[in-house]
């Protein structure tokens, strides 16, 4: 089944002939970039949007992965932070983010004679609240993973089958997803959330989120890691570091990390 879906993915790119990839460096868009390059070679290109909602460390990883794959890789600055529809953080914030992205990618694709902008949306994404998907569709983007029905688990399986070392890389959506809807997003808030997560990663925790709620940081770890964190971590040092970043309070979510938790809470209302 996995090999069949990979073969379908190959056929899609063969039919396209060229491909411009909206490449974040996440495991989904990286798989798309890998297969596109395997099929099309220098007729494919990966473009990464650079903004304050992307960690510098994530950008560096994206560059390294593109180099390993061999695909041509370019950076493009986006300016969603200039749009109050985005920074006011409404429930459809992602719509305005992806609108900004694809409003810049589409003209670039036309200018360079690429028929489509290709993204890494997978089949599972269609089951979540993702207003950004609509923005991309409105601008003619294609999502080969979703078209074939490739799930997140299958993305990892295919990535591992292809021998890529980041097959188990944690999901890392943009930093703006760390804020409850309605809380204004600022450069300073994005920075402190990003540095807080990097601090915890350096302590050895990879699957995590630092949710920002006003001046409170809410740490989410995998449930099985919570006890280890409390026992082995110098909690006073964690609090001190977070406060140095601008947080007043630091809490630990006892439920643990769940991808898309804010969306799930919203959809359950």
pLDDT by 10s per residue, the chain, length 269: 899 999 999 999 999 999 999 999 999 999 999 999 999 999 999 999 999 999 999 999 999 999 999 999 999 999 999 999 999 999 999 999 999 999 999 999 999 999 999 999 999 999 988 999 999 999 999 999 999 999 999 999 999 999 999 999 998 889 999 999 999 999 999 999 999 999 999 999 999 999 999 999 999 999 999 999 999 999 999 999 999 999 999 999 999 997 666 655 555 55
| pLDDT at residue 172 in the model | 86
Pairing of strands 216-221, 208-213: antiparallel
Coil, strand or helix at 102: helix
Looking at residue 1, its pLDDT comes to 86
This prediction's pTM: 0.92
List the domain boundaries for the chain: 2-161, 175-267
In angstroms and rounded to an integer, the radius of gyration of the C-alpha atoms of the chain is 19
Round to whole Å and give the CA distance between 194 and 217: 12
CA 185 → CA 84, 216, 263, distances in Å? 9, 14, 17
Q: What is the DSSP letter of 248?
A: S
Q: Give residues with Cβ within 8 angstroms of 175, minimum separation 6.
A: 52, 53, 54, 55, 190, 193, 194
- Residue owning tokens 């589409």: 106
Q: Which residue reads 């919203």 in tokens? A: 266
2-161: CATH class: alpha beta
> Whose CA is closest to 94, among 58, 53, 130?
130
Say how far residue 7 (Cα) sits from the centre of its chain. Answer: 25
Architecture category of domain 175-267 in CATH: 2-Layer Sandwich (3.30)
């Amino acid at each position: 089944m996995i090999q069949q879906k990979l073969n379908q993915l190959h056929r899609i790119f063969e039919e396209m002939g060229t491909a411009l990839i909206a490449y974040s460096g996440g495991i989904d868009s990286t798989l798309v970039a890998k297969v596109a390059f395997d099929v099309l070679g220098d007729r494919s290109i990966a473009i990464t949007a650079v903004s304050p909602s992307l960690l510098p460390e994530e950008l560096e990883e994206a560059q390294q992965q593109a180099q390993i794959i061999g695909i041509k890789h370019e950076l493009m600055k986006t300016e969603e932070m200039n749009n109050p529809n985005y920074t006011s953080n409404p429930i459809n914030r992602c719509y305005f983010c992806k609108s900004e992205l694809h409003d810049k990618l589409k003209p670039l694709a036309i200018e360079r004679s690429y028929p489509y902008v290709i993204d890494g949306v997978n089949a599972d994404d269609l089951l979540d609240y993702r207003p950004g998907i609509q923005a991309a569709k409105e601008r003619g983007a294609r999502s080969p993973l979703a078209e074939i029905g490739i799930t997140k688990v299958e993305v990892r399986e295919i990535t591992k089958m292809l021998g890529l070392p980041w097959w188990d890389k944690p999901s890392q959506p943009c930093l703006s997803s760390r804020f409850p809807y309605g809380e204004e997003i600022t450069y300073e808030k994005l920075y402190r959330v990003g540095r807080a997560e990097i601090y915890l990663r350096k302590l050895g925790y990879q699957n995590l989120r630092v949710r920002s709620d006003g001046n409170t940081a809410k740490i989410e770890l995998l449930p099985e890691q919570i006890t280890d964190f409390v026992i082995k971590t110098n909690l006073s040092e964690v609090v001190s570091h977070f406060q140095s970043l601008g947080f007043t309070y630091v809490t630990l979510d006892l439920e643990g990390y769940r991808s898309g938790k804010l969306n799930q809470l919203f959809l359950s209302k």
